Amino acid sequence: MNAPETVVRSRRPGIVRMVLAGLALAAGLAPWWSAREEGWRAFPGFDVAPAVEDVVDELPIFETIEINPGSPEAKAHSATLARMPDGRLVAAWYAGSGEGHTDVGIFTSVRDPRGAWSEPRRILSREMMFGSLGRYALSLGNPLLLPGEGGKLGLLFVSIAAGRWSGSSLNLAWSEDGGETWGPVEKLTTNPLFNLAALPRNPPARLDGGGWAVPVYEELVGNFPEILWLLPRNGGFSAAVSRMAGGLEVMQPALVPLSVQDAAAFYRDVTKTRRMFMARSEDSGRAWSRPEPTELPNFHSGVCVVRLPDGRLLCAFNDTTKRVRENLRLAISGDEGRTWRRIATLAEEKEQEFSYPYMLVGDDGWVRMVYSSRKNRICYVEFNSEWLNSMADAAQRKGEVP
Partner 1 sequence: MSGGAAVWTVVVPWLLLTWVFLWVSGRRGWWGCFVCGAVAAAVVMFPWLGHPLPFWTRALMANFSVPLAGVLVIAVAGRVSGKSLFTSADWNAAWIFGAAGAVALYPSALGLGPRNLDAYALGWPWLFWGQSFVLFAGVAVVAAFLLWRCNRFGILLLLALLGYSVGFQESENLWDYVLDPVFAAAAIAGVLRLGFRGLFLRNRGEAPRQKRLS
Q: Is 191 in the site for partner 1 (CB under 8 A)?
A: yes
Of 52-60, 130-138, 259-267, 370-378, the segment contacting partner 1 by CB under 8 A is 130-138
Q: Which of 23, 49, 52, 74 binds partner 1 (CB under 8 A)?
A: 23
**Binding residue count for partner 1, defined by CB under 8 A:** 60
What values do phi and psi take at 34, rounded to 5? Answer: -70, -15
Is 27 a residue that touches partner 1 (CB under 8 A)?
A: yes
Distance of alpha carbon 158 from alpha carbon 13, whole angstroms: 51
Contact region with partner 1 (CB under 8 A), list: 107-115, 199-207, 284-292, 357-365: 284-292
The sign of the dihedral angle between the CA atoms of 240, 173, 64, 88 is: positive
Task: Give strand pairing partners of 113.
Answer: none
Binding segment (CB under 8 A) for partner 1, from list 20-28, 61-69, 364-372, 384-392:
20-28
- What angle (nearest 5°) sits at the alpha carbon of residue 220, between those of residues 218 and 222? 75
Q: Which of 21, 49, 52, 61 binds partner 1 (CB under 8 A)?
A: 21
Q: What share of the chain is helix, strand, coil (3-state, %, to 5)?
A: 15, 40, 40
Q: Judged by CB under 8 A, which stretch of 22-30, 293-301, 363-371, 393-401 contacts partner 1?
A: 22-30
Tell me: does residue 72 bind partner 1 (CB under 8 A). no
C-alpha span between 130 and 177 (Å, rounded): 23
Write the DSSP assignment of 76-132 as a string of letters: EEEEEEEE-TTS-EEEEEEEESSTT-TT-EEEEEEE-TTSPBPPPEEEEEHHHHHHH
Pick the binder of partner 1 from 18, 51, 52, 74 (CB under 8 A): 18
CA distance to 128, 129, 185, per residue, from 133 (Å): 9, 6, 6
Q: Which is nearer to partner 1, 13 or 399 (CB)?
A: 13
Complex with partner 1: residue 162 or 394, whichever CB lies closer: 162
Q: Which stretch binds partner 1 (CB under 8 A): 45-53, 54-62, 193-201, 351-359?
A: 193-201
Q: Does 28 bind partner 1 (CB under 8 A)?
A: yes
Q: Does 189 bind partner 1 (CB under 8 A)?
A: yes
Q: Tell me which stretch binds partner 1 (CB under 8 A): 68-76, 129-137, 140-148, 308-316.
A: 129-137
Cβ neighbours of residue 46 closer than 8 Å, sequence gap 6 or more: 205, 206, 207, 208, 213, 257, 259, 260, 261, 263, 284, 285
Compute the distance between CA of residue 245 and CA of residue 288 in angstroms, rounded to an integer.
7
Indicate which single residue of 9, 22, 61, 322 sits in contact with partner 1 (rule: CB under 8 A): 22
Asked whether the beta carbons of 352 and 362 are under 8 A apart, the reply is no
C-beta of 13 vs 72, nearer to partner 1: 13
Report CA Rg, the chain: 24
31, 199, 311 from 226: Cα distances, Å: 25, 10, 25
Q: Which of 2, 5, 8, 40 binds partner 1 (CB under 8 A)?
A: 40
Can you tell me which of 161, 216, 328, 359 binds partner 1, judged by CB under 8 A? 161
287-306 positions binding partner 1, by CB under 8 A:
287, 290
Quote the least distance from Cβ 346 to partner 1, whole Å: 32
Q: Are 368 and 203 in contact (CB under 8 A)?
A: no
Neighbours of 154 (CB within 10 A): 20
In the region spanning residues 224 to 253, those forming contacts with partner 1, defined by CB under 8 A, are: 224, 229, 231, 233, 238-243, 245-248
Contacting residues toward partner 1, per CB under 8 A? 13, 17-18, 20-32, 35-36, 38-40, 42, 130, 133-137, 161-162, 187, 189, 191-196, 218, 220-224, 229, 231, 233, 238-243, 245-248, 286-287, 290
